A and B are shown apart, each in its own frame.
Chain A
Amino acid sequence: SQTIHQWPATLVQPVGSPLSLECTVEGTSNPNLYWYRQAAGRGLQLLFYSVGIGQISSEVPQNLSASRPQDRQFILSSKKLLLSDSGFYLCAWSKGSLGDTFGSGTRLTVV
């Protein structure tokens, strides 16, 4: 069966520090991978998606970037965090039209 792992679960970072969130998927090959952000009291905002290694589509201009160095690995990064980057970040994968399967999320607080 397929599983998705996302870490860390919580993170507190100072303003201006770098960020690296990692997501890996097991049990499938060539999945579509996604990073979403969920701000308090709001729905999910799609940040990036990838349909293959090295292929990244950005949905919203921002302080963040994404990379897919391996087929089942998706990384969300920032060189310098802003206060507005605080939120709940969710990684997800899908295969074809199955709908996204989500990881357990990372709660990021920028202080």
Chain B
Amino acid sequence: AQSVTQPDIHITVSEGASLELRCNYSYGATPYLFWYVQSPGQGLQLLLKYFSGDTLVQGIKGFEAEFKRSQSSFNLRKPSVHWSDAAEYFCAVGNDYKLSFGAGTTVTVRA
């Protein structure tokens, strides 16, 4: 069975500071991994995805994530956070047909 754990429910970060969101997964094979962002009351937007190859993945809005097989992790990072990055972030693992999502991490950006 596949599952995703996002250990941090809520993170507060200052504008301009770096951000790292943790994601650990459980999957029986080589996983497909995703990070999504959700603004309040909106649908989810795909930030980046990993299928194979280079373990450091670049996404939209200046985000990147690194796949570490030995740690079963796919952490999301951004070097310098903007106020518009305040949102909820979801990590997901799956295959062609089904994704399993983590419970999400809410990011608050303070001025």
Contacts and interface: CB of A to CB of B under 8 A. Distances in A.
A99 B90 contact: no
B45 interface: yes
A46 B32 CA distance: 17
A90 B44 contact: yes
Contact of A102 (B32, B41, B45, B97): B45
Interface stretch (A13-21, A66-74, A75-83, A103-111): A103-111
A97 interface: yes
A96 interface: yes
* Size category, A interface: 20 to 34
A100 B35 CA distance: 11
Interface of B: 4, 6, 32, 34, 36, 41-46, 49, 51, 90, 92, 95-104
19 contacts: A32-B96, A42-B103, A43-B4, A43-B6, A43-B90, A43-B102, A43-B103, A43-B104, A44-B90, A45-B101, A46-B98, A90-B44, A92-B44, A97-B32, A97-B96, A100-B44, A102-B36, A102-B45, A105-B41
Contacts, number: 57
B41 A99 contact: no
B93 to A, nearest CB: 11
A49 B96 contact: no
Nearest to B45: A102
